[in-house]
Amino acid sequence: MHKRAESEREIDLHGDMSETLKEKLDYIFKPQSVAVIGASNNRERWGYETIYGILRSGFRGKLYPIHPKDKVIQGLPAYPSVLDVPDDIDM
């Protein structure tokens, strides 16, 4: 089998996903940390609604608002860049 075909073949004949693929998908469907670039305290901006929606959804992971000037967004510490976030970011 070609290397590409082997790497793309993550699902076996019974439809079970490999553990590696499950772990990769967890970053998307079960993130432990999320950064929101463009987060805002202004209710008229999409960045406000995004943070607000994540908080309302009951997300239990770490939430990192990213804003170049504001230090606090909706009560959360904000960072000027994703490079300034002290932890790993899943999404």
With tokens 């970011």, the residue in question is 89
Kind of pairing between the strands at 76-77 and 62-66: unpaired
Kind of pairing between the strands at 62-66 and 33-37: parallel
Per-residue pLDDT tens digits for 60-78: 999 999 999 999 999 999 9
> What's the predicted TM-score (pTM) here?
0.74
Per-residue pLDDT tens digits for 18-77: 778 877 787 788 899 999 999 999 999 999 999 999 999 999 999 999 999 999 999 999
The answer to whether residues 83 and 35 touch, using CB atoms and an 8 Å cutoff, is: no
With tokens 């993550």, the residue in question is 10
Radius of gyration in angstroms for the set of CA atoms belonging to the chain, rounded to a whole number? 18
